[in-house]
Structure 1
Amino acid sequence: MTLSAESPLRNQLVSRLGSRAIVFVGLMGAGKTSIGRRVAQALDLPFVDSDHEIETVSRLTVPELFERYGEPEFRALEHRVIERLVREGAGVVSTGGGAFMNAQTRTIVAEHAISVWLKADLDVLMDRVSKRQTRPLLKTADPRATMAKLMDDRYPTYAQADLTIESRDEKREVITAEVIEALDRYLDLATRRTASAS
């Protein structure tokens, strides 16, 4: 989905977004980076993948950070990076699967961004992550069981996101359009609430 610079929907959306970021949350394989990049392109906003940003500032890959410093240290660095990104203003940020589990990160995202959970079922996630062998949390004897446990543990928290979009075996353009339509409805409702309160 591409919205031209003159598109009323694009201009309206970006105007109502103001200085807030759009933050994608969800499990690995949900499509946060690919959909996030397309949404950013459609709205002509900058896009940042928080994992890539972490790798840039640390000069280590995410698996190397996990191996050398452990998950708690990685999560602390992840929080600092995401806080900086959402405070920078309007843009699109895709986050790692565990980022939204950090209460401090959820708070900073709620203050400076609109969160979008890309929700996918187990089969879809496993099909996608099996194509990449760089997932530190799936280096277990039974990756499917590990993923199922991650879903059980994390989905109730992801459900706190402002918007939920079903990520499924559908063209990325379709999911992107659904995200943009949901953002439009969400921002429209927020604008109406603000107007009626004043």
Structure 2
Amino acid sequence: MTHLRVHIPAEIIPRTIVLVGLMGAGKTSIGRRLATRLGLPFVDADHEIEAAAGCTIPEIFERFGEAGFRDGERKVIARLLDGPVHVLSTGGGAFMDQETRALIREKGLSVWLRAELDLLVQRTARRDHRPLLRSGDPREILRGLMEKRYPVYAEADLTVDSDDSPLEETTDRVVEALHLHLLGAPAPQESASQENER
């Protein structure tokens, strides 16, 4: 069976696409694939924050606390949004900051990758680099974060479910949602082989 795929010309994307959602939702993995599909650069805000600070995010939390981290995060995201159009993956708490959220609303196109608790627990258990999960039971921490953050994430321009299907399928759903949002019509389908012939 031929896999059908949507194509969006990069030139019709007016603003940076900002991926928001909880840790483990797939913002970086989907973001890289989305950028490739759209012919845009990919930027990970967390990496940019670490580069600007000269230390890791856990070290920033340890030295300056979450408030200090959010201040740096806000400045970095503001700088990135002033640059050329790209796909931007943000940390789980970025969209919760009122100023950052207003900046994203003004200068970006936000996409919430919405994921269920079991999937987030499974994905975040693979790596031990998330400061917010070090203070107790990760499942309960994630559950609390979902209750607090999901109503705010719902303010994003688009919502796409991130589940345990292959990453390419989730990326397809994001592209289709963007197509509908930007052009106001369901996306025409083309096969992956047709796209590769371009």
**TM-score, with structure 2 as normaliser:** 0.89
Partner of 2:12: 16
Aligned to 1:60, the other structure's residue is in SS state: coil
8 Å contact kept, 2:45–2:88: yes
How many pairs were matched up? 183
> Residues of 1 paired with 2:161 and 2:107: CA distance?
24
> Residues of 2 paired with 1:2 and 1:150: CA distance?
35
8 Å contact kept, 2:27–2:90: yes
> Residues of 2 paired with 1:108 and 1:138: CA distance?
27
Partner of 1:127: 122
Where do 1:128-143 residues align within 5 Å? 128-143=123-138
Aligned to 1:96, the other structure's residue is in SS state: coil
What percent identity do the matched residue pairs reach? 51
Which residue, 175, 181, 189 being the options, matches 1:180? 175
Aligned to 1:114, the other structure's residue is in SS state: strand
Shift of 1:183: 0.3
Which residue, 153, 178, 190 being the options, matches 2:148? 153
| Deviation by residue 1:80-125 (Cα, 9 ceiling, x = unmatched) | 1011111113100000000000111111111111100000010000
> Residues of 2 paired with 1:152 and 1:56: CA distance?
31
Which residue, 58, 74, 78 being the options, matches 1:79? 74
Structure 1 residue ranges without an equivalent (≥5): 191-198
**TM-score, with structure 1 as normaliser:** 0.89
In the alignment, structure 1 residue 111 sits paired with structure 2 residue 106:
yes
Partner of 1:196: none
Aligned to 1:116, the other structure's residue is in SS state: strand
Two-structure CA RMSD over aligned residues (Å): 1.7
Aligned to 1:132, the other structure's residue is in SS state: coil
- Residue identity matched to 1:142: D
> Residues of 2 paired with 1:106 and 1:140: CA distance?
26
Partner of 1:194: none
Where do 1:24-39 residues align within 5 Å? 24-39=19-34
In the alignment, structure 1 residue 166 sits paired with structure 2 residue 161:
yes
Shift of 1:35: 0.1
Which residue, 53, 61, 66 being the options, matches 2:56? 61
Shift of 1:2: 11
Higher helix share: 1
Partner of 1:92: 87
Aligned to 1:97, the other structure's residue is in SS state: coil
